[in-house]
A and B are shown apart, each in its own frame.
Chain A
């Protein structure tokens, strides 16, 4: 790249450009949110936007959730690997979604990539990735833990141009349309993604025009260097050492990690873990790398920005063909449960070392709940894609937080009962804190939730796969494990069945789904919880009198 004399560029101008970059991705984010057709995008924020330098390095990102920050760079890199510069033009838009090949997550998360040209030269890239509600395949919503190959999980878009020199490739659009069970929503979200990138492109070009391509490129490089410097300084302040954790999964697999923090590296060793699975609970190497990036950021400098520089001190070791770096064509639609399992494992390994940054274990499952069927008023087929909120762990100084989205999520909003009932034609019978036991300690784990959906029409279905359904969130320093994530399906005749995984289970009018999400892990010995505090817990109904007697000997 052309390195220009930095002395000529005053620090004020650099600062102004860098804060404008943040404004660019913020604007892309807002545009996407306001134009999207599905609640998984506009409420759940299952999407991310980002801008890159001309090498395809992440420069700035706009995201409501941390899990999407590091997800777009592999996509841009895959375009640069596949297409020679001579065939990348102004007005092109690329589309890709294969997780093993730069798509990172699962086929539902479709990536759009736009090269930005100024005065004939490419000065950077913009990208947008969003969860599309249905990309075809064997299962409604394109998600099932039971998938065994990616071919069952929907339409694969192998890094191709969906737009060339400003002209839409209608053939690709038609293929996308015919392959979706929700074609209108799918195309609406596709156009929303393009609108968001165009909003970003306008601003990106505005910066180039105002400050010149060289100054802009210098400011971007400086921003990436700054992020790296912040990370390296933070690394110096973290306690050096080797940290280990293991857990047993609901499928009785032993998983383990060793993390080495030294002055110049954050090394995560995930070798020796189970091989890739014959189901959809696999994650790509890139997805596992996102976990490593997230936990590093959480303990290093959670309240600053992130770009490619932030993650330079991070290194990941993992066996080929492990379930944390599965190879094509393994199924991956439920990758997110595997990823959060890894995230939780890394978290556990470090919690005792940096207790000021990390509480005890939280409910650690996306609890993705996919429901669909005809709307009782109109008969129109619809689908609901909802992660659930749950309980967070206690820390060394306070009780855990009640009813919050996972550490993988962020500024994600649940869908209000009033809106959901109208939009989806179901009934939310209750939405309250989980009163099951678990997570007691000197400081108690936060409460999960108890959410009941009543189905109001025949021919509905549900798909879900929750982890931490058999082994609750871990406590610290003698605090108890929390409760479990699961659902009960209560048929109209009163027959109740508990599930941790199900695929396209048939539901009819009058059936009720009872969702329970886990209470977080406790901190410290329950005997040390002050009597007055326990009495207040009983008064507030956070614990029953019987359970208080059992665990605390009070009441």
Chain B
């Protein structure tokens, strides 16, 4: 009987495997376990097989396997894709090189523009043209493709991207090119822009098609190897791949347009947060993940994960980067993690990050020769991390080196070592706070309506302080916090996002055409799933409309129930739009409203057992393993009980100050905060109820 479900997340250093067994008697998911093995860069599937070995999982017993991988983003950033050619509309072959003409590093007159992934001699034009309504102005003659394909063959091109102007509204010409090339040159990898995106902006769509084609053969080969490795071990369950949109999809679908998995790792953590929220009845969540070099956060509103279609790679203050128009969970990421270095600049200003000590030499406490103090070192200095139970007791922290490092840092500012360590924590918290504001307050959300769900190695160390700073009433530290991303994949349904730009004035006379577009998009999604053998009852949808005041550029999203927009309902949606707009920008206008894009998300349910609850009996005193002095900054240095998380039970409750230790992470609870352990072992930290307040 196949009773095991597993998910694997391949990171730069470690490959995580999370798995559980479905109890034959009660049908509940029990005994969630995780193992970590080293990532095997040249042959990623080997690392995954090693993790199964380490976990002692027999693949013939595996019912469900979900997989997240950095293969696509790595191929892009390391420029390890294949030689790719572009076919585009006459007059537009330079679109990849012209891009948008922007120079973010704007005082710098030696700015360098990002180099296009496809050089000019491999970019070919063909005579064809649509207008913005989708009417054909110049019909395409596919015979014109012969010389282009000849030129590509001569140059050893292995992949072709096709993007025509206005194909988002009428993809006919792209479809003709695809079927023609498939017939006469079936071996070549081929990606047309409309297969990935039905949104306007020709540079972004062309670049997306180009990047997708560039990595397609690499990703396909990789996934096939993974399938073969699984097959060899007699795996016969379902195999899914984690996408950037916070859902999984079938391997065959991902192989065609693998750009959809470009940002799958961070997405699965956010998805896990949404899934956990559903389980414990928390619909409004700020998901917060602190890793070694960065912190990432994303907001979940009424159970819905926010998706962006303006994802960029290699973009920062110094470079315009490359746009990828594929749905990606909207995540704000900053260069502040456990390994971020505290330093003082030539003008006596202290900063934390974005430089990181990385995995090697790592924090000073590792004793691997690191001399620059990190956030993790500061947490050790303050007694928040236990020097004798550092990384689950794997190493003893080199506290003398840590102290020396902070003394040196402090000397630059006439601060004591302890003050310098507190400074590092304050600045790191400030940076994280700004990131959290960007996704909440700046977007019109009130943090008081949310719970902060913190995971990753460092999330639980900073969350309780950040919550106080932002007036967030509750912090949740999930069980398995350090492998939460992989856990998220186990909780996922199949998800496909369909987005279409089709601008129309949002008025009653267009109600029918709006309904028709929504139904057509649902129909398309339904047919695609059904073709793959998914039954209709398992398919469900979410609809969003992107709207704005006529004349504006930026849109505000409004949620729609069902696909039928009656005149009455349309008026209500107008009110909803004004409400959402006002919430974000503090005013509304009487101007006409324009609907720009339709977003339909199609889910297919994956059969999933419920989670088993943890034991509800125990004595809280048994969980206290130690009492030690911990520095709580302005609240003072306090004698603090240290709890062993593994001994906590459902319903257990205790007050701060407290430290909760487990092998992968440490949770800090401030004075006047209260902890409650829920039925699944998650920690809920809230402000202590006080009468005199």
Residues on A facing B (Cβ under 8 Å): 10-12, 15-16, 18-20, 23, 27, 30-31, 33-39, 42-43, 63-66, 184-185, 188, 191, 194-195, 198-199, 226, 229-230, 233, 294, 297-298, 302-303, 306, 347, 356-359, 389, 395, 398, 401-405, 407, 409-414, 416-419, 421-422, 427-433, 449, 452, 539-542
- By a CB distance below 8 angstroms, the chain B residues around A15 are 349-351, 427
Q: Is the C-beta of B25 less than 8 angstroms from some C-beta in chain A?
A: no
Contact indicator per residue, chain B 189-218, by CB within 8 Å of chain A (1) or not (0): 000000000001111100000000000000
Q: Does B645 contact A (CB under 8 A)?
A: no
User: How far, in Å, is B571 (CB) from chain A's closest CB?
Assistant: 22
Q: State whether A195 and B585 are in contact (beta carbons under 8 Å apart), knowing that A65-B106, A418-B200 are contacts in the complex.
A: yes
Q: Give 10 CB contacts A-B under 8 Å.
A: A15-B427, A19-B430, A184-B551, A188-B551, A195-B587, A403-B98, A404-B102, A428-B91, A431-B95, A433-B94
CB distance from A11 to the nearest CB of B (A): 5
* Chain B residues positioned under 8 Å from A33 (CB to CB): 554
| Docked-complex contact A541 and B120, CB < 8 angstroms | yes
B180 interfacial by beta-carbon distance below 8 Å: no
What's the minimum C-beta distance from A523 to chain B, rounded to whole angstroms?
A: 12
**Chain A positions within 8 Å of B203 at CB level:** 416
Cβ–Cβ contact A12 & B426, under 8 A: yes
Q: Which stretch (B108-116, B271-279, B297-305, B513-521) binds chain A?
A: B108-116
Q: Beyond A23-B434, A191-B587, is A431–B551 a contact (Cβ under 8 Å)?
A: no
A-B pair count, CB < 8 Å, reads 193
Q: For A11, give its contact among B93, B350, B434 (CB under 8 Å).
A: B350
Q: How far is the CB of B163 from chain A (nearest CB, A)?
A: 11
- Pick from B106, B168, B430: contact of A409, CB below 8 A: B106
Contact A407 B109 (CB under 8 A): yes
CA distance A207 to B347 in the complex (A): 23
Kindly state whether residue B132 has any CB partner on chain A within 8 Å: yes
- Beyond A15-B350, A36-B552, A541-B120, whether A405 also contacts B585 by CB under 8 A is no
B202 with A188: CB separation less than 8 A = no
Chain B residues near A (Cβ < 8 Å):
90-95, 97-113, 119-121, 131-132, 165-166, 168, 200-204, 318, 346-351, 413, 415, 419, 422-423, 426-427, 430-431, 434, 437, 442, 503, 549, 551-554, 584-587, 589, 591
Q: Which residues of A contact B549 (CB under 8 A)?
A: 37, 188
- Are A429 and B103 in contact, CB atoms less than 8 angstroms apart? no
CB atoms of A418 and B201 under 8 A apart: yes
Choice from B113, B434, B437 contacting A402 with Cβ under 8 Å: B113
Q: Which residues of chain A are within 8 angstroms of B204 by Cβ–Cβ distance?
A: 416
Contact A226-B349, Cβ < 8 Å, known A65-B106, A431-B94: yes
CA distance A359 to B350 in the complex (A): 34
Q: Looking at the assembled complex, report how far the CB atom of A181 sits from the nearest CB atom of chain B, in whole angstroms.
A: 14
Residues of B within 8 A of A19 (CB): 430-431, 434
What CA separation (Å) do A401 and B105 show in the bound complex?
A: 14
Cα A54 to Cα B112 with chains together (Å): 39
Verify B98–A66 contact, CB threshold 8 A.
Answer: no
A455 to B106, CA, bound (A): 33
Report the Cα distance A127→B180, complex, angstroms: 58
Name the distance in Å between A198's Cβ and chain B's nearest Cβ: 6
Is the pair B589, A191 in contact by a Cβ cutoff of 8 Å?
Answer: yes
> Which residues of chain B come closer than 8 Å to A452, judged between CB atoms?
91
Distance between Cα atoms of A389 and B97 in the complex (Å):
12
- A18 to B106: give the CA distance in the assembly, Å: 21
- Determine whether the beta carbon of B109 is less than 8 Å from that of A359: yes
Please report the C-alpha to C-alpha distance between residue A541 and residue B101 in the assembled complex, in whole angstroms: 20
- Residues on A with beta carbons closer than 8 Å to the beta carbon of B591: 184, 188
The reply to whether A359 and B585 contact each other, CB–CB distance below 8 Å, is no
Chain B residues positioned under 8 Å from A427 (CB to CB): 131
Q: Are A42 and B105 in contact, with the CB atoms below 8 A? A: no
A414, B101: Cβ atoms under 8 Å?
Answer: yes
Residue from A66, A191, A195, A413 within 8 A of B101 (CB atoms): A413
User: Are the C-beta atoms of B109 and A430 separated by less than 8 Å?
Assistant: no
CB distance from B106 to the nearest CB of A (A): 3
* Contacts beyond the supplied A449-B98, A541-B120: 14 A-B pairs with Cβ under 8 Å: A12-B423, A15-B350, A15-B427, A188-B591, A195-B586, A389-B98, A411-B104, A416-B100, A418-B202, A419-B201, A431-B92, A431-B95, A433-B97, A540-B121
A41 vs chain B, min Cβ distance (A): 9
CA A129 – CA B132 in complex, angstroms?
33
B113 and A404 contacting across the interface, CB-CB below 8 Å:
yes
Are A37 and B551 in contact (CB-based, < 8 A)? yes
Q: Is the CB of A357 within 8 A of B110?
A: yes
* Interface contact B107-A298, CB-CB below 8 Å: yes
User: Which of B92, B107, B168, B351 has a CB less than 8 Å from the CB of A294?
Assistant: B107
**A-chain residues with CB within 8 Å of residue B423 when the two chains form the complex:** 10-12
A355's nearest neighbour on chain B, judged by CB, is: B110
State A466–B350 Cα separation when bound (angstroms): 47
Also in contact, A405 and B587, with CB within 8 A (given A12-B350, A303-B318): no
Give the residues in chain B near A418, CB-CB below 8 Å: 132, 165-166, 168, 200-202
Q: Return the 3 tightest CB-CB contacts between A and B, nearest first.
A: A410-B106, A430-B91, A389-B101
Whether A539 touches B121, Cβ cut-off 8 Å, given contacts A35-B585, A431-B92, is yes
